[in-house]
């Protein structure tokens, strides 16, 4: 049920409890009290991570997960045992800094396992939440991918020329003299661009299990397509967003060999939830990369996540924080953010999704020197246009879009493609 509008989820949960009311045998409901965590641990991004850490339990229980309007979530299914619940909670203990709720005397407050005879109590609890919910905008709703569509989507994915929707974006380092120099280039397929190739009414990411299957296929196609890009002056260091599981495939080994033949190095960007869902795979992947002189990056983090992640244990080469305007509250040493970044190592931090000068100023105040995002892209394109013989003919937007692409007809319209690549080295 993940992918439904959050304020409608209570209704769907009540409907399911009603459907199974005549035969509750074997059913249990695990209720996870995310709302009882400390405020800093209830950030929406962190709630998503917690929910994903219970994915294995959902699969074992052949169940459904309902993320509620207060951030709590419920899993309805069979074969939900105290042991499987404890294993899921242990993932949080091992990967995250402790919250008071984890202590021995209060750990039971985090989860509640409802037996069939207790379902009426749960119904009352959900009805109270429902009273505080808002009406759903059905016109804005897109339908998640379901299992019956997956083969068709995979076939469609095989038909798509991925190389034409792969984009790249620089991570820039601010030097002491104010100059911006490239650290590495990130190559990625934007889900938004990919979605345009499918039914616009279908939400590719709505069903996380099926999207994971698609993304593993996408990883292989991205690695293959990257090797055949039109970029001539290839950057010395490149980064790719990959699933941890992809790094143990023969296709990844072949990709690394090809990259190394060109004297390039790789930074593999992995999602926080992927790491916490399989810590052993993370450490194995990191060792595998380090043996060949490559690096690993924790992607899509936030200040709130860093306050609970056990970064000292994970020891990544880089951490990418996504900028958002609420971060302006963390000026200087406010809430100990600057000290936290220094403890992690500001040389490891990349501030991404920088939309404007505010993001750059915030990063500099907090000791960060590596940046990525639309604001940095514009600075890079301005430099390209100032040097390109055709710089005054093309608009900034045209130059920006061509700069991001690695192949395709629109990129080919550039009369001086070598200038598009000058800043990549």
Cα distance between residue 202 and residue 8, in whole Å: 19
Cβ count within 10 A of residue 409:
8
Q: Could you report the per-residue pLDDT of 58-100, keeping only the tens digit for each? A: 877 778 888 887 778 889 988 788 888 888 777 766 655 556 5
Q: Could you report the per-residue pLDDT of 223-237, keeping only the tens digit for each? A: 988 877 778 777 889
Residue 299 in tokens? 């992607």
Give me the residue label for tokens 């068709």.
152
57 alpha-carbon distance from chain centroid: 21
Contacting residues for 358 by C-beta, under 8 A, at least 6 apart: 325, 328
Query: What's the pLDDT at 211?
Result: 74
Residues in the chain: 425
Helix (H, G, I), strand (E, B) or coil at 301: strand
Cα distance between residue 173 and residue 346, in whole Å: 12
Higher-confidence residue of 400 and 191: namely 400
Query: What's the pLDDT at 140?
Result: 44
Give percent of the chain above pLDDT 90: 30
Query: Is-contact 231 414, C-beta < 8 A?
Result: no
Cα distance between residue 425 and residue 418, in whole Å: 12
Q: Are strands 64-67 and 143-144 parallel, antiparallel or unpaired?
A: unpaired
Contacting residues for 277 by C-beta, under 8 A, at least 6 apart: 52, 53, 55, 56, 91
Residue 367 in tokens? 């000791």
352: nearest Cα among 131, 183, 224: 183
Q: Could you report the per-residue pLDDT of 155-190, keeping only the tens digit for each? A: 777 777 788 888 999 999 998 877 889 999 999 887
Query: What's the pLDDT at 219?
Result: 92
Query: What's the pLDDT at 370?
Result: 97
Query: What's the pLDDT at 424?
Result: 44
Query: Is-contact 51 44, C-beta < 8 A?
Result: no
Helix residue ranges, H only, 41-134: 44-52, 55-60, 82-95, 119-130
- Is the pTM value of this prediction over 0.85? no
Question: Domains of the chain (ranges plus CATH)?
Answer: 6-140 (3.30.70), 147-424 (3.20.20.450)
User: Could you write out the DSSP letters of every residue in 206-257?
Assistant: SSHHHHHHHHHHHHHHHHHHHTT-S-SS--SEEEEE--GGGGGSHHHHHHHH
Q: Could you report the per-residue pLDDT of 343-353, keeping only the tens digit for each? A: 999 999 999 99
Q: Indicate if the alpha-carbon torsion angle 378, 242, 55, 196 is positive or negative.
A: positive
Query: What's the pLDDT at 369?
Result: 95
The Cα diameter of the chain in Å comes to: 77
Helix (H, G, I), strand (E, B) or coil at 72: coil
Query: Is-contact 362 356, C-beta < 8 A?
Result: no
Higher-confidence residue of 13 and 147: namely 13
Summary mean pLDDT of the chain: 82
Helix (H, G, I), strand (E, B) or coil at 354: coil
């Amino acid at each position: 049920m993940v992918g439904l509008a959050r304020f409608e989820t209570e209704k769907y949960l009540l409907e399911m409890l009603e459907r199974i009311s005549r035969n509750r045998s074997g059913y249990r409901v695990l209720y996870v009290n995310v709302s009882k965590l400390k405020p800093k641990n209830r950030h929406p991004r962190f709630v998503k991570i917690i929910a994903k850490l219970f994915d294995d339990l959902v699969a074992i229980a052949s169940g459904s997960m309902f993320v509620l309007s207060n951030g709590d979530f419920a899993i309805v299914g069979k074969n939900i045992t105290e042991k499987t619940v404890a294993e899921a909670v242990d993932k949080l203990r091992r990967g995250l800094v402790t919250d008071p709720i984890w202590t021995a005397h209060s750990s039971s407050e985090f989860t509640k396992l409802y037996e069939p005879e207790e379902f009426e109590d749960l119904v009352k609890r959900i009805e109270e939440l429902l009273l505080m919910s808002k009406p759903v905008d059905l016109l804005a709703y897109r339908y998640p991918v379901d299992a019956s569509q997956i083969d068709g989507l995979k076939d469609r994915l095989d038909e798509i020329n991925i190389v034409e929707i792969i984009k790249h974006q620089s991570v820039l380092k601010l030097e002491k003299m104010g100059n911006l120099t490239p650290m590495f280039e990130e190559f990625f397929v934007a889900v938004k661009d990919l979605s345009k190739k499918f039914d616009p009414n279908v939400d590719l990411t709505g069903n996380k299990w099926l999207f994971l299957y698609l993304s593993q296929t996408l990883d292989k196609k991205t690695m293959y397509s990257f090797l055949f890009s039109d970029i001539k002056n290839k950057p010395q260091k490149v980064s790719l967003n990959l699933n941890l599981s992809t790094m143990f495939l023969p296709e990844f080994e072949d990709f690394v060999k090809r990259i190394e033949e060109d004297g390039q190095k790789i930074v593999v960007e992995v999602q926080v939830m992927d790491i916490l869902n399989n810590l052993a795979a993370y450490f194995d992947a990191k060792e595998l990369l380090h043996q060949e002189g490559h690096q690993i990056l924790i992607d899509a983090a936030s200040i709130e996540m860093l306050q609970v992640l056990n970064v000292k244990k994970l020891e990544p080469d880089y951490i990418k924080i996504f900028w958002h305007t609420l971060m302006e509250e963390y000026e200087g040493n406010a809430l100990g953010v600057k000290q936290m970044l220094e403890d992690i190592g500001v040389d490891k931090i990349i501030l991404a999704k920088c939309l404007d000068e505010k993001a750059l100023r915030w990063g500099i105040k907090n000791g960060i020197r590596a940046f990525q995002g639309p604001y940095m892209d514009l600075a890079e394109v301005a430099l390209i246009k100032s040097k390109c013989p055709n710089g005054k003919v093309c608009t900034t937007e045209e130059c920006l879009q061509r700069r991001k692409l690695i192949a395709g007809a629109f990129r080919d319209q550039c009369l001086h493609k070598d200038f598009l690549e000058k800043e990549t080295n």
